[in-house]
Amino acid sequence: MEFIIIVLSTFLLSTALFVFWIVKGGFNRKFLYTDNVWLASAASVLNIISYSFIDMPLWLATPFISGFIIILLFTVLFFYRFFRNPHRIIPGDQNDIVSGADGRIIYIKELEKDQIPVTVKKLRIADLSEITKTNILKRPCYLIGIAMTLFDVHVNRSPIDGKIVLVKHTDGTAIGLNTPVSTITNERNTVVIEREDGVIAGVVQIAARGVRRCIIMKKPGDIVERGSIIGKIRWGSQFDMIIPRNCEIKIREGEQVYAGSTIIARLLD
């Protein structure tokens, strides 16, 4: 009976932890049925072993010891998921634009010619006018925002084949995104990629709380392949993509996408 109580309480605590991060951290709901089940099962085994070999009352084993083990395993799981760099198979052909980041689509905006884009996250606005230094806005385009959670892969990839024509780093603060000015003042990187036929795409890394590690591994003049790694964000939060308007959008708001392996749009002839 005591073992059943330990198992049930462990699953309850683990589920509560994942529900919190789904609601507050934007985690994908699938983690509730995958990582949560794995973590709760492993924690239950460790809790039962601890209770069997260490003389302790049930009220101490549950929830205190159980809670400690759950948090410890969750931390290990987080570091594994955050720093992994899985192999990605790049689908489609050169006219298929792939996602530059793992995460959830938070908006798909249509921008008109010469309109300065803004990125909106939970009603906060960040001016991305540095992109106007290129001709990327001389034609209508789409602005697509991707929210990256702590469990997402934080390696970023090129959405198209082409040459890097701009790498612009904007130094800034590292305050929380719950502060209205944060997405204006926080660190970011802007990268613009141009194909030989003149097709242009831009990506923007935006840092989050405590983050000063937006990293671009390429420089102007470098040739990149569609789906190849161009950078990463340490503890990052958001990744914006700017693509031509003459595209058929393949994703929708709220959808989970994966860098290099999710086709977000296809260029029309």
Cα distances (angstroms) measured from residue 258 to each of 76, 87, 144: 22, 11, 14
Structure tokens at 224: 């990149």
Q: Is 158 helix (H, G, I), strand (E, B) or coil?
A: coil
Cα distances (angstroms) measured from residue 81 to each of 30, 109, 150: 14, 30, 8
Angle between helices 2-25 and 35-53 (to 10 degrees): 140
The Cα 155–Cα 188 span in angstroms is 15
The H-assigned helical ranges of 1-132 are 2-25, 35-53, 58-59, 66-83
User: Whose CA is closest to 193, among 177, 216, 212?
Assistant: 216
- Choice among 14, 66, 99, 237 that is catalytic: 237
- CA 190: distance to chain centroid? 16
**The dihedral formed by the CA atoms of 52, 54, 55 and 59, expressed in degrees to the nearest 10:** -80
Instruction: State yes or no: is 237 an active-site residue.
Output: yes
Catalytic residues: 237
